[in-house]
Structure 1
């Protein structure tokens, strides 16, 4: 027997499902979050739920918002269960389920003015974001905000009718200023190096084009804290819905599955206060940089290292990739030889122990994180997760053969077929361009590296470019397994 999830049925859920001890009616909104996906619900909302359980800061609940077409489905599904979510945290040998209630409302999706109107409420003191790595209008070739992007140009010309997330934020800040209200904090929760600065650059870049006086005010008054967020959270499918029904007796139309591990390191800089998240495990530090570099290079870079060889060998899940001796050894060697040695020290942290923990996390069979998800959006992820390590190694006159192979594997994946000949469906916003380049690179490897918006000047670095070309030819001629065996020696 299953129980449909709702506020009315909370007290009737099975005993093995945790439920909020706080009353939903006691919560009021203090955060508006743009981009309510699985990661936000498995991370930020989990920390808030823990805080509310202590009886503190009940005025920091979340209102959801979004401008993308799929946000309507998210809102409609969650509204049908009173915005509650079953979060299933999984270790290899155990799983626990808890219903969280930190999300209490959702602004009409796809309506920028509705978000602006909600942000007129001074009780909203934080706007948080998970809009993906590619959602910040960054020029990959420079790493800087692109004020010439057509959507930014359009918002700058007509700020009263914004269409982008940053146009909405800017108009709301403009209205706060005009009303004499305290501005809100803008808090990025995306996997980006220096994500607070990236968010600030986007808001300030648009503001300078639209209203320089407003830009000056924002620069003086609005906080953009950086943060490192970490919790492996796969997509929800019928498998996850079935497990929640059969193992926990809950009919949840959008449960969230995640690993048991969770971490949030956050810069303690806020415009109008913050919830006491330090009481429930969030680390507040003066400089997030070392933590985010560690995570982005070792964990996110590690995901990229295993994803493309696994995808080419028709492996479906991350834990199955870790069960493959070649893929697991490839990860260990690339990390040990070319990634860990150039990651700066992190306070009170052993990088070797951190990597060992990541190996365990990647191998968790309960997560069922798909290789296809890990391969997604390489054109935005490679410049952030892999290429900085290549550049750092070259600058230090270190070997880059493993990272060159990782790049060649990405190129071979974008060719569009696996080693067995199975078609790889489009898996990047720039898939057509990538596939065209990958096909040209089969006979001329430099055609791939000529994407300077991704690789910058690396095509002119013989140590990397020559190794990349050799690996790519081997991948096409002999296949992924042969290339991995050659690298492993």
Structure 2
């Protein structure tokens, strides 16, 4: 049965549907980037809240600035902007229909419809899921890059911006001229200090064309930080067939793990929905939660993924069934990462680590190693390099983390250890494969990538250890080297 509003009350048994009147919803949030993660995370929390009969004036108006966003809008339009979300655990599966998004702004190259939507007084929050790489961060400095070509284009054409940040600035300018309170801008991306990063991008771009407006944004607009977490695989034929097996036709079904977490800095001058009633944590300690998640979960994903990728392992749970890979993940987490993660309120870090291992082992989610290996050039500087730096600064032994960097380098060579070709899996894949090939004979060139490692490549001890480990991986293979790491003979 086709997923749409008319069919909601006739869907197959076992599929939960919204228990509220979607016609009574009014948008209070414009969300830019309505991919799988958003629909499995923020949209689910709001659906829960609406189901309690609360805050029906905080519905989501979907939006985007890319060609792919327009494809998503057209697809969801045929379903009255409904989405199925299936939570999968080894012993249970549950599917629900999420109705928290009653509309979607048409995507236009000038972003005029998006700017108009955000200029509406009813919109009090603009939230973003634009991926880790969407914030125009200079990899060499870790800060906003005003030199990026897209930013330069928006600076020259502020009334017809191409970027999400240019559209936000134009809408804030329109609201200011109309005497309306500015909306709150909230990043929902897995970026360290995402509130500060978003603020820097918006103000940095505004400063290039209107310094006075930039000053007003800096003093008037809130950019709360947040930490988001839920394992949400990409949708493919398997997921579409799975939902069809339930008797439901959904062209963009979402599957995810049962676990979800959302931690937010409570800084919303224009108001916010009562998300604390559905499990969201509001705290001033977002940075602590974020560091824990980025170092232990996201860092753990990398530790798990690259040895598995070199062995042609397809699914994450299959990697967790490999005794050596699981032991490698556990040892690096326990001995190198946990000791440098700051305390988190009401959280046992060892228990959190154990939860991560259990989540990765969830065979029902069918998350892929290739997804975890994706975009290492953006993820390594955020998830692994800071841990290496902190361990070294405290005089600790970062061998496991440095070995992980060697495994990433070997992966970027472009073939697995069976000789199978690894398809491009990074925006900078061509450059990475060239550097990885050179690093086979001169490992130091890998750490010399300042956009990834910063000045870590100038640390003689780290360079020497990396040199030893990468040469060993090439000479003996990853399994032999990991075995020596695990038994302490490396």
RMSD: 0.9
Could you tell me how far apart the structure 2 residues matched to 1:369 and 1:74 are? 22
User: Are positions 1:277 and 2:275 aligned together?
Assistant: yes
Normalization by structure 2: what TM-score? 0.98
Identify the range of structure 1 (409-418 vs 154-163) with the bigger mean alpha-carbon deviation.
Answer: 154-163
3-state SS of paired residue (2:342): coil
Secondary structure at 1:457 match in 2: helix
How far apart in 2 are the matches of 1:5 and 1:159? 39
Q: Secondary structure at the match of 2:6?
A: coil
The equivalent of 1:241 in structure 2 is 240
Residue in 2 aligned with 1:214?
Answer: 213
Q: After the TM superposition, which of the residue ranges 62-71 and 52-61 deviates more from structure 2?
A: 62-71
CA distance in 1, matches of 2:163, 2:325: 40
Q: CA deviation at 1:463?
A: 2.5
Partner of residue 189, structure 2: 190
- Does the 8 A contact of 1:221 with 1:271 survive in 2? no
Are 2:84 and 1:86 aligned? yes
**CA shift for structure 1 position 255:** 0.7
The whole-number CA distance in structure 1 between the counterparts of 2:65 and 2:409 is 32
Distance 1:205 1:98 in 2: 41
SS of the residue corresponding to residue 32 of structure 1 reads strand
Residue number among 42, 45, 51 corresponding to 2:43 in the alignment:
45
- Aligned twin of 1:225: 224
* Structure 2 residue 164 is the aligned partner of structure 1 residue 165: yes
1:444 offset after TM fit, Å?
Answer: 0.6
Deviations 1:274-293 (A, max 9, x none): 00101111011122010000
Q: How do 1:54-453 residues align onto structure 2 when only pairs under 5 Å count?
A: 54-111=52-109, 112-246=111-245, 248-453=246-451
Choose from 24, 29, 42 the match for 1:31.
Answer: 29
Q: Per-residue displacement from partner, 1:254-298 (whole Å, max 9, x unpaired)?
A: 111000001101010013100010111101112201000000000
Q: Take 1:331 and 1:62, find their aligned partners in 2: how far apart are those partners?
A: 38
Match of 2:458 among 457, 460, 468: 460
Distance 2:65 2:375 in 1: 19
Deviation at 1:51, TM superposition (A): 0.3
Separation in structure 2 between the aligned mates of residue 446 and residue 226 of structure 1, nearest angstrom: 36
Give the 4+ runs in structure 1 shifted more than 4 A: none
Please state how far the C-alpha of 1:33 moved relative to its aligned partner: 0.8
Q: Aligned with 1:36: secondary structure?
A: coil
Q: Is the contact made by 1:71 and 1:110 (CA closer than 8 Å) also made in structure 2?
A: no
Structure 1, unaligned runs of 5 or more: none
Q: Structure 2: give runs of 5+ residues left out of the alignment.
A: none
CA shift, 1:110, in A, is 4.2
Normalising by the residue count of structure 1, what TM-score does the alignment of the two structures yield? 0.98
* 8 Å contact from structure 1 (residues 28, 59) kept in 2: yes
Separation in 1, partners of 2:102, 2:475: 55
1:431 Cα deviation after fit: 0.7
Question: Between Structure 1 and Structure 2, how many residues are aligned?
Answer: 486
